[in-house]
Amino acid sequence: MVGQNSVRNRIIDGSILAVLFLITIACLIPLLHTVAVSFSDKTAADAGRVFLTPIKATTASYAKVLDDGQFFQAFLISVQRVLLGGLLNFVLTVMMAFALSKDAKQFPMRNVYMWFLVFTMLFSGGIVPWFMTIKYYGLLDSIWALVLPHAVQVFNVILLMNFFRNLPKELNEAAEMDGAGPWYVMVRLYIPLSLPSIATVTLFSIVFHWNSFFDGLVLMSKQDHYPLQTYIQTLVTQISAQAMTSMSPEELAAAMAVSNRTFNAAKIIVSMIPILLIYPFIQRFFIHGITLGSVKE
């Protein structure tokens, strides 16, 4: 009987590992294909002959992306947006989640504020009222137009609120008996105990701010104010006849060495690099934070 169970368990474990392996391959193939296309020759990429390895490897697409001062300016704007937006999201998310984690006796208006937040998740005024509001506040063409409209992300607030509600109430009661106020309890007790969940919502916030491009396209009238993702969306590789006549032979050869397919692949890879560098430092908190904040007693 023990031998049968052992063989059965090995078959089940092997099947699970095989399925996970197939899922991993399915996730890696698009990424590897994009990398291969970005390093491939223009003709081979346009002909669809590139799969997982570059053909006639070249870095012409990356050179065209990086050989532009506007690219680095847009990169710095995106970094500034991530820092300001991430900090603002962190402060407001923690404060709101801490208050909403209290019951109705401690916070009489808790249910009213909670329904108000949930309502904003389900309904919005639309793009035109959103744009007009930002315009009337005088935020157009400023970094705050990219940060303030997304200052409170309701999903992150709910996630962190559920985590706070799972913390032992005895900790809060003991702190209050010792004379600790709400600010002290939040900063010295709740935040240190909630690092996994805070790391999770911080990652969500960073990825959101880094990948957003539509708001920059709508709210910024000058290309100098574009964040990186918006700037990447506006790049084109088509060369007009007038532009070709004004180029030197070296510039013309470099421009003709890339195509939309290779250039777009290079843009995707470049835009992924910061997130790939940040994620390993937060990854160990990610699943732990999601599971601890997802179930209420």
| Residue 20 forms part of a structural domain | no
| Residue 243 forms part of a structural domain | yes
pLDDT per residue of the chain (297 residues) written in tens, 0 to 9: 445 567 888 888 889 999 999 999 998 898 888 888 888 877 777 777 788 888 887 877 787 777 777 778 888 899 999 999 989 999 999 999 988 888 878 888 888 888 888 888 888 778 888 889 898 988 888 899 989 988 888 888 888 888 888 888 887 778 878 777 888 888 888 888 888 888 888 888 888 898 888 888 888 888 888 888 888 777 654 444 445 455 555 554 555 555 667 777 887 788 788 877 877 777 666 665 555 545 444
Question: Model's pTM, two decimal places?
Answer: 0.74
| Residue 10 forms part of a structural domain | no
Kindly report the CATH number assigned to the domain that includes residue 191: 1.10.3720.10
Give whole-number Cα distances, 116 to 99, 119, 132, 205, 250, in Å: 14, 5, 22, 21, 60
Q: Which residues span the domain enclosing 175?
A: 62-292
Give whole-number Cα distances, 65 to 46, 191, 226, in Å: 19, 41, 15
| Residue 47 forms part of a structural domain | no
| Residue 36 forms part of a structural domain | no
List the one residue out of 27, 35, 30 whose CA is nearest residue 53: 35
| Residue 274 forms part of a structural domain | yes
List the one residue out of 81, 92, 86 whose CA is nearest residue 154: 92
Kindly report the number of other CB atoms within 10 A of residue 136's CB atom.
9
CA–CA dist 215, 233 (Å, integer): 12
Helices (H), the chain: 2-38, 42-46, 60-66, 69-100, 110-122, 127-136, 144-147, 154-166, 169-177, 182-185, 191-193, 195-211, 214-219, 228-234, 241-246, 249-256, 260-292
Q: What's the total number of domains in the chain?
A: 1
| Residue 51 forms part of a structural domain | no
| Residue 38 forms part of a structural domain | no
